[in-house]
Structure 1
Amino acid sequence: MKAVLLTLLFGAVCGAQETPAEIDPSKIPGEWRTIYAAADNKEKIVEGGPLRGYYRHIECIDDCEYLSITFYDKDDGTCLLLKEVAKRKEGYVYVIEYAGANTLELIHVSDTMLVTYVENYDGEKTTKMTEGLGKGTSYTQEELQKYQELNSERGIPTENIDNVIETDTCPP
């Protein structure tokens, strides 16, 4: 009887484990805008913070071995256009140097929504953050809910989500 109970318990636990969503690489390239950002250390992503970026374009290079990311950074209100290239580490996890050492993982991609999970090490502290990108300038209620869930799964509080598009005054 104990064996049957343990087998059922094991099956229930395994069934509850969520399988990571498969990323469709054909949906990665394109024009993207940063809609939301969230971090466990919110001061890094507030307007003027070192990790607040305004995405514009992502391109796959060599079957997504590299990601070319075009974005704006603001310095005292002036938009600076930057292009960084991230190198694939494994799966859809990339390494990139920007405001410290970063691992960037694509954790959700659909036709209209792309979410990255970043761990940034600035030499002193590691900050966990997500960036919610969109093809337009807002999320549907369902997309916002998905973004909130992805943050919750990574220990980033919902109250640390910042609406980035509201401060995006950089050129399209």
Structure 2
Amino acid sequence: MKVVLLTLLFGAVCGAQETPAEIDPSKIPGEWRTIYAAADNKDKIVEGGPLRGYYRHIECIDDCEYLSITFYDKDDGTCLLLKEVAKRKEGYVYVVEYAGANTLELIHVSDTMLVTYVENYDGEKTTKMTEGLARGTSFTQEELQKYQELNSERGIPNENMENVIETDNCPP
């Protein structure tokens, strides 16, 4: 009887474990806009913060061994167009130098939504953040809910979310 109970318990625990979603690499490339950002250190993502970026385009290079990311950063209100190339570490985890050392992971990709999880080390502290990107200029209610769930899974408070698209006045 104990064996049966242990087997059932083990099955329930294993069944409750969420397996990472499979990323379809064909959905990564293209035009993207930053809709939301959230971080455990909100100062990094507020307007004018060092990690507040305005995505425009992501391209896969060599079967996504590298990601070319085109985005704007603002310096005193002036939009600066930047392009960074992230190198694959494993799976869909990449490393890139920008405002410190970054590990960037693609944690959700659909036809209309892409979410990144970033750990940024600025030489003193590690900041955990997510960025929610869309093909358009907004999220549906379902996409917003998915984004908030992904934040919660990574220990990032949803009250630290910033609506980035509201301050995106950089060229398309």
Once the two structures are superposed, residues 39-85 of structure 1 have per-residue CA deviations (whole angstroms, 9 ceiling, x without a partner) of: 00000000000000000000000000000000000000000000000
**What is the deviation of 1:145?**
0.2
Once the two structures are superposed, residues 88-113 of structure 1 have per-residue CA deviations (whole angstroms, 9 ceiling, x without a partner) of: 00000000000000000000000000
Once the two structures are superposed, residues 5-47 of structure 1 have per-residue CA deviations (whole angstroms, 9 ceiling, x without a partner) of: 1111000000000111000000000000000000000000000
Structure 1 distance, partners of 2:63, 2:153, is 28
List 4+ stretches of structure 1 deviating above 2 A.
none
How many percent identity over aligned positions? Answer: 94
TM-score (norm 1): 0.99
Structure 2 distance, partners of 1:125, 1:69, is 24
Partner of 1:72: 72
Once the two structures are superposed, residues 120-168 of structure 1 have per-residue CA deviations (whole angstroms, 9 ceiling, x without a partner) of: 0000000000000000100000000000000000000110111000000
SS at match of 2:13: helix
TM-score (norm 2): 0.99
**What is the deviation of 1:3?**
1.2
Partner of 1:101: 101
SS at match of 1:81: strand
Runs of 5+ unmatched residues, structure 2:
none
Structure 2 distance, partners of 1:86, 1:39, is 20
**What is the deviation of 1:2?**
1.2
SS at match of 1:130: strand
Structure 2 distance, partners of 1:113, 1:63, is 20
Partner of 1:159: 159
Structure 1 distance, partners of 2:97, 2:110, is 26
Partner of 2:8: 8
> RMSD in angstroms over aligned alpha carbons?
0.4
SS at match of 1:144: helix
Structure 2 distance, partners of 1:12, 1:111, is 32
Aligned length: 172
Structure 2 distance, partners of 1:139, 1:129, is 18
Structure 1 distance, partners of 2:46, 2:160, is 10
Runs of 5+ unmatched residues, structure 1:
none
